Each structure stands twice: as structure tokens, then as C-alpha cells.
Chains A and B, each alone.
Chain A
Amino acid sequence: MAEPVLETKGLTKSFGALRASEDVSIDLRPGEIHAIIGPNGAGKSTLIAQICGALRPDSGDVRFAGADVTALSVRARARRGLARTFQISALAMDHTVLQNVMLGALGARGRPWRFFVPVLSDRGLRETAEAALERVGLSDHAATRTAELSHGQRRQLEVAVALTLRPRAFVMDEPMAGLGAGGSKRLTGFLDGLRTEAPILLVEHDMDAVFALADRISVLVYGKVIATGTVADIRQSDVVREAYLGEGA
């Protein structure tokens, strides 16, 4: 089997007495979508923060693209090809949609030290940005001020920014939240094709999307992975039904 692109080993993180991650070991293999599901407060976003470098684990390692990145900053991990989307949109609200995506393209290029040429006339950045907007279906809103986007459109924009990074792996925190049925379906179709570009670690509450997309699912409850398996495995698992699916379904 191919070596995982992304891997955590025994990640543990406490906030005071609260164990937000407990011995979490998961991996993401080339070409797959690995979904992380779990109730509110299970520690999904905390796990993502440790994977992306925003939070330091108390113990455990993160490996990415063949190297131990546990000690690296968010920025260094991004430069190695880790692209994330945020659960709570982290976008420059005063900027236009196009500018937000161009920031991604600029990050991918990695040289922001150009002071006196207009960024909008930078062909390379612009083409990358416009292509990403096209792919998520936001082209018509390129000139819209980001603060004026609907919640769902902001989710799409988050994905577009991640696309500009041409990453080795995507880490997405609830990209479907607030999209509505139509939007969810569209994004589901899009992510389905995206996995061949780079594998996706997908935190998602939308079970239809998860069951449609995931090659594997891990279930996180109280900071612990209680099960990992295929869609069928997880659907049939008594442990999972009791701990999680039961209460929601």
C-alpha cells in the first residue's frame, strides 16, 4: 500500500482537565477522502489545528509528505503543501472575492515582496485565482466584497483559496456547513473529483455527503478515535451507533 501523505501518531492535547485529543492516530492515503465525524465538541477542529500547526500537541507526532512536521509552523506546513479550510470562514472581509483567492495564489508563489506593481495586473496570479473561482462556481462574484457573500458562498470561497495552493493534501473543516441542499450536492460532486488531485481529510457533519464521498471514516468521540473503517463498516458498527449515530439519527 502507498505510504500515507499525512499521518498522526498518538496525538494528545488537553485544555486544562478537558482531553480534546487522546492518542489520535489517523492517516490519509493518496487518492482518498478520509472523513472524520463525531458529535459537537468531539475534538475534530482541535485535531485539525494540530495537524495544520496552529496548536502544539502535548504529545504525539504529525508526519506530512514523508517528514516529521510536528515542530513546524502553520506557514511551513502550508509551504510543504498542506491546504486547509476553516470551519469559521477566515477571509478578508473587506477584500473582494477575487482578492481573497489571489492571496492564496500569492501564498503559493511565496514571494509577496513586490511593492509597487498593482497585484490585479499580475497575470499569473490572476489566472490561478480566476481558475479556482470558476471551479467552485463563484466566477460571477469575483468583484463582490467578501462581507456581502452568503454563508454558503463563503464556504465555497474557502475551498477556492485552498485550490490555489495546489496542495499535496487538503484538510477541510465542515465545508458543507450552511450550504443548503443544492450547494451541498454541488460541492459533494466537486470534492469527489478533487481527491485524485490530492487526498482530502474531511471533517463533516453532513452524513449524506460523508457516506457519498468517504473511502474511509474515522469516528471521534470525546477526543478518541472509536472506530475507523469503510462506509459500510461504520454504518454497521454497534459502537458507533451507540456513541454517535444513534443520538443523531
Chain B
Amino acid sequence: MSREHLVNLAVVLALVLLPLAAHLMGETYWVTLATRAAVLALAGVGLNIALGQGGLVSLGHAVFFGIGGYAMGILAYHAQTYTPVIESLGLPGTNLMPLIWLVAAMFAALAALMIGALSLRTSGVYFIMITLAFGQMFYFFALSWPTYGGEDGLSIYVRNRFPGVNTLVPIQFYGVVAAVLLLALLLSDRLARSPFGLALAAARQVPARVAAVGLDPQRLKLVAFVLSAALTGLAGALFADLNRFVSPTMFSWHTSGEIMVFVIIGGVGRLMGPVVGAVVFVLLEHLLGGISEYWQIAFGVLLLLIVLFARGGLIGLIAGREKAHG
């Protein structure tokens, strides 16, 4: 077993055991913080498929996060007000999590398909700028959409349901989130080792080679972008459920930036990078956020150190350079 495998195993154990311990000690607040970290980690696992596996520097993932959030917000809002989502079809809202997740992931994927098809024609800085521009478009759209709260956002009073679980109990909701996160990690790991993952990683490193063997590097990247968005969208729905609130902030480029930064801190392209990064992010936010509203400066310094001295992020520091899969 390689060193990274051990580190990964330790992270999984920590994901399961630490919040449980906090729960047993009655530290509900820490359980909620862990839930926040797990949800953000899920968004990061999504981004990591585009960024780490596909080499796509997307500053627009807040779009998918926000779409997931609003999918939850809109469906739950109509469920709590007993009004149809689409008047003419009489389509009702829902407060059932799996259904909300499905809608969130699907709409995020659809948006990614459109945004990706347009922005993948460019690369480098232009790709970053186009994804950023799409993010801002969605942000201003949400700001000016009065039906769902405009800039005030939308509050959902009761947390959504998951069959067999009392989602109002923090540790139970954490269990749902952690299960989704672990599943996403499993899928992401599988993806990296699959034929698709092999071709995608090659498309990231040498697109000319991929074309020369008869595959389409752009299409591989587009599919990666869509899968990545679906996971980040799912995370957005859970984030909204955690806060019982959605607002246009979810769409803002700060959100995109934060996800990207903690993925980089944890380790781009490393399976557990987003998890470690999200935990560090939430911890710093909690520990330093109380002292100063400028706590993000500390976060910025950390980012700088990582980028300068540890290309593999914190996972790279602990586990060494990545072994080629296999």
C-alpha cells in the first residue's frame, strides 16, 4: 500500500469518526462545521475532475454550485407553499432530497454542457475569463429574479427529507452528506482509473497525441466538465439544505475562487485533496474568522506557500509525489 493510500484511508476514517466523536461529546456545533466541510469538499471533488483530471481552470464553478442551491431552494419553496413549480404543468415542488439532488445535478450538467461547449473553444487565460463571465451572468440573473427572493435570497424553513433519516438531527444530516461525499470520492477515483480517465489525463497533458490516436481531446474535456459540474451542483443543493437558505452569493465568483483555492491547498488532482483543503478552509474560517474579518489573508498566505513550495498541495506534502495510477 502506498503512502497516499494510507493517507487517504486516514482521511476517510477521520470523516467517519471525528464528527461521531463530536456528537457523542455533545459538540453539535462541531458536527455542523464538519457538515459544512463535507459539503464544500464535495463541491471540490467535483471541481477536481475538471481541474485536476482535465486540466480545466474553471473560475465558473459557482454557477453549478448556485444552480444546485437554487434547484433545492425552488423545489423546496414550492413544496412548503404548496404551489406548483410550473403553473401550466401543475408540476409540484418537493422536499425529498434524492429527487432534489437529481434535479440539481441534471441542471448543473446541462448548464455545463452549454458553457463548456462555448468556452472549451478557448484555452488558458481566455478559458478562465469566459467561465468567470458566465459565473457573473448567473450571479446578476439571480440578483434580479424577484420570484425567488432576488438579492435577499430564499429561506427554507424545514430541512428536506431523506427516507429513513431525521435530517434535523445534525449528526444524521452529516451522515447523509458524508455518505454522498464518500460515494463521490469512490466515483472520482474510479473515473481516474477508467479508460475515460486515461484518455482525459492524456488530453490534459498532450492533446496532440490524443488526436493522433483518433480521439477527440475537446470532447473528453467537455464530458469531464459536465460530470464535474453535476457533482458541484449536487454539493450546492446540500449546501443550501445545510443553511436552509439560498442567495445569489452562491453564484458569485468568490465562491468559485474559494472552491478552487481550497482544492489547490489540498492538492489538485489528488483524490483527497479537496477534502483536506475544505477541512483546512472551514477550520481557518472558524478559528480566525472570529478574530478578524480579514482572516482570508491568512488563507491567501497559505495558498501562496503551497503554490510556491508544494505543487501537490497538503496531500503532496504528506504523501509525496503522485504515483501514476495502476
* A161 / chain B contacts, CB cutoff of 8 Å: 209, 213
Residues on B with C-beta less than 8 A from A100 are 202
* CB <8 Å contact, A95 and B195: no
Q: Mark A91-106, 1 if CB is under 8 A from B, else 0.
A: 1111110111011101
Q: Tell whether B191 is near chain A: CB-to-CB under 8 Å.
A: yes
Interface residue? A226 (CB, 8 A): no
Segment at the interface with B among A9-17, A78-86, A176-184, A195-203: A78-86
Chain B at the A interface: mostly helix, strand, loop or mixed? helix
> What chain B residues lie within 8 Å of A117 (beta carbons)?
190, 194-195
Counting chain B CB atoms within 10 Å of each CB, which of A74, A110, A145 scores highest? A74
CB–CB A95/B196 < 8 A = no
What's the Cα separation between A114 and B227 when bound, in Å? Answer: 13
Asked if B198 CB lies within 8 Å of chain A CBs, one says: yes
Query: Among residues 201 to 240 in chain B, which have CB atoms less than 8 Å away from a CB atom of chain A?
Result: 201-202, 205-206, 208-216, 220, 223, 227
User: Which of B187, B209, B223 counts the most A-chain CB atoms under 10 A from its CB?
Assistant: B209
Which B residues, 309 to 326, have Cβ-Cβ distances below 8 Å to chain A? Answer: 322, 324-326
**Contact indicator B196/A92 (Cβ below 8 Å):** no
For residue A108, CB closer than 8 A to chain B, the reply is yes
Query: Taking the nearest CB of chain B, how far is it from the CB of A102, in angstroms?
Result: 6
Cβ-defined contact, A125 with B195, below 8 A: yes
B78 close to chain A: CB less than 8 A: no
Best-surrounded residue of A79, A96, A99, A107 (most CB of chain B within 10 A): A107
Tell me, yes or no, whether A140 is within 8 Å of chain B by CB.
no
Whether the pair B190, A115 counts as a contact (CB closer than 8 A) is: yes
Known contacts A106-B213, A108-B213, A95 near B201 by CB under 8 Å? yes
| A99: B residues at CB distance < 8 A | 198, 324-326
Max chain A C-beta neighbours (<10 A), residue from B190, B193, B211 = B211
B198 touches A103 (CB 8 A): yes
B196 touches A115 (CB 8 A): yes
Total chain B interface residues with beta-carbon distance under 8 A: 30
Residue pair B202, A75 in contact (C-beta under 8 Å): no
Report yes or no: A92 in contact with B201, Cβ–Cβ below 8 A. yes
What residues of A have a CB within 8 angstroms of the CB of B205 in the complex? 92-95
Is B194 a contact of A165 with CB atoms below 8 Å? Answer: no
| Interface presence of A73 (CB below 8 A) | yes
- By the criterion CB–CB under 8 Å, are A54 and B208 in contact? yes
Interface string of B269-287 (1 = CB under 8 A from A): 0000000000000000000
A52 CB within 8 Å of chain B: yes
Pick from B194, B209, B223: contact of A103, CB under 8 Å: B209
B187 contacts across to A, CB distance below 8 A: 116
Contact status A78-B196, CB under 8 Å: no
Q: Which of A94, A98, A165 contacts B201 (CB 8 A)?
A: A94
Contact of A98 among B197, B202, B326 (CB under 8 A): B326
A200 CB, nearest partner CB in chain B, Å = 16
1/0 contact trace for A47-83 toward B, CB 8 Å? 0000010100000000000000000011100110001
The answer to whether the Cβ of A242 comes within 8 Å of any Cβ in the partner chain is no
* Cross-chain contact A92 with B194 (CB below 8 angstroms): no
Q: Chain B residues near A73 (CB, 8 Å)?
A: 211
Q: Which 5 A-B pairs have the closest CB atoms?
A: A107-B213, A78-B214, A74-B211, A112-B199, A90-B209
The residues of A with any CB-CB pair to B shorter than 8 Å are 52, 54, 73-75, 78-79, 83-84, 86, 90-96, 98-100, 102-104, 106-108, 110, 112-120, 122, 125, 143, 145, 161, 164-165
7 sampled A-B residue pairs with Cβ under 8 A? A52-B212, A94-B205, A100-B202, A102-B198, A108-B213, A110-B214, A116-B194
